[in-house]
A and B are shown apart, each in its own frame.
Chain A
Amino acid sequence: MSGEGLVEVGPESEFEDGDHAVVEVGRAEVGVIKAEGEFYALRNQCPHDGGPVCEGNVQRELVGEFTGTGERVEQYYSDNCIVSCPWHGWSFELETGKHIGDDRIRVPTYDVVVEDGTVYVDGGD
């Protein structure tokens, strides 16, 4: 972390599911995203081409399962929420920052703290 301590993002009440806000944490731009009632924070810089990944679409990950020889792959939306960079669609798990196609690629994540109705990103000690 960048040693910035808690960085204020804004009132919790102003976030609807799918909303995001961008704050400066030290020299990094961090996106705070609310999805399904939970807050997540990730570096707002896609490792692909530098796009504003946190400003993209938030949805559950579409996954597939092989259920048997000759069967169509069963596809369904998992419990896993992802954000997709609006530039090219690189998609990352909100929880871990891992790319959903290759977990060796990660966007740095931050802890989010909500205190007295205010959302903060934990920029580290």
Chain B
Amino acid sequence: MIDAAEERVIDCDWHYQDSFKEVAEYMPEPWNTKYKRSNWDDAGVKQNLSSFFPTSTGDRQNYGKVLREHSNYPDEPEEPERVGEGMEFLDIDVSLQISHLILAMGGVNADDERVQAFTHAYIEYMLEEVLDPDEGIYGLAPIPYGDIDASLEVLERVEDEDAYVGACFVTAGASPPLGNRKYDPIYERCEQMDYPIVYHTGGSGLDEYVRAGYQEMIETHTLGFLESNMSQIVSVACQGVPEKYPDLDIVFMESGVTYIPGLVSRLDEEYLKRPEEAPLLDTRPSEYITDFYFGTQPLEISARNDLLELCFDMIGTDRLLYASDYPHWDFDSPSVINDLPMLDDDDRRAILSGNAEEVFGV
């Protein structure tokens, strides 16, 4: 077994604990003023019960049980230097930062530009204050995909910035779902830029997605993170995004791995009965989906080992990307990959860094 601490480790999903208060300094007007006068202050980090961006059921820290030694989360906005401290703690060489606050963007239903304003400001804030490729700290640009023009502006802004290495789509709340032709111009541009699309699940709007009335986060987080990713995987595959943009690298983040075999098996069954409804596909959806990349976190290490082995085999160890999700409540250390008995050392290195090097060029 390799010594993960001695290996290069790339963490494809680290959540910078951005605060509205700090990001607002970079927001265009009128959002800068609106935010400052919203009386919201730093509360977005703590995900209080009502918010600038709506939130979902429960308390992520399990009511004070989950603590973070190497991050200010969840009590205060992050300090940029603490990212390096956390990376050292986890023995991570490279991290891809994804906004914490943007994960709730799907809950915004207002016909205004708060998401656009936030993404615009976040990109500048991170460039100015946090991202540092020399220290292995890269970013994924949040895409306000509901507004195609604004999304293309984001891509234009980051195209020549070495600190950004991909585009992040939050999968929760996307309507229409992300395989819709509406988003084609974003995919076309990303393909042209050789920019991977990282679809990142999230919980916003979760309590309403099927039915209201769930009571605890164990219910909504278990279901919602899967539903948000599954709904977009099915849409992206069935609507033929991989056929339309064959050089586009597609990554799905943060729902573990065990849902993939179940989802693709069911989808294939449907496809064989009604293939004319996915007319751009040349073969079964599973063959496209297993060409996608998947972040491993939160890896289901308590599952039967033969199930995990089957999942890794179906997805392919060349398609799995280590992700910590630090400092969120259910983060994974690199050891969750290193300790898997069915992997050989080449697989471990590929998942911990090699595959990410291929996808993100870091």
Give the interface of A toward B (CB within 8 A). Answer: 48, 61-66, 69-73, 75, 88-91, 99-103, 105
Least Cβ–Cβ distance between B261 and chain A, in angstroms: 18
Q: Is B8 an interface residue (CB 8 A)?
A: no
Give chain A residues whose Cβ lies under 8 Å from the Cβ of B304: none
**Contact B272 A75, beta carbon cutoff 8 Å:** no
Pairs A–B under 8 Å by Cβ, sample size 22: A61-B276, A62-B276, A63-B279, A64-B240, A64-B279, A65-B279, A66-B243, A66-B244, A66-B280, A69-B185, A69-B187, A69-B188, A70-B182, A73-B181, A73-B240, A73-B280, A88-B273, A90-B273, A99-B275, A101-B284, A102-B275, A105-B272
B283 at the A interface (CB under 8 A): yes
* A-side contacts of B276, CB under 8 Å: 61-63, 91, 100
For the complex, count residues of B whose C-beta is within 8 A of A. Answer: 21
Q: Which residue of B lies closest to A48 (CB)?
A: B272
Nearest Cβ on chain B to A18's Cβ, whole angstroms: 19
Neighbouring A residues of B211 by C-beta, 8 Å: none
Bound: A108/B279 CA distance, A: 24
In the A-B complex, the 4 residue pairs with the smallest Cβ-Cβ separation, listed nearest first, are: A64-B279, A101-B275, A69-B184, A62-B276
A45 to B40, CA, bound (A): 66
From residue A59, how far is it (CB to closest CB) to chain B in Å?
A: 10
Cα-based distance from A100 to B281 in the complex (angstroms)? 10
| Pairwise interchain contact B280-A89, C-beta atoms closer than 8 A | no
- Identify 8 new A-B residue pairs, CB closer than 8 A, beyond the known A70-B182, A89-B274: A63-B276, A71-B181, A73-B240, A90-B272, A90-B273, A101-B284, A102-B284, A105-B272
A65–B181 Cα distance when bound, in Å, is 13
**A53 smallest CB distance to B (angstroms):** 13
User: Who on chain A is nearest to B283 by CB?
Assistant: A102
Cα A65 to Cα B281 in complex, Å, equals 10
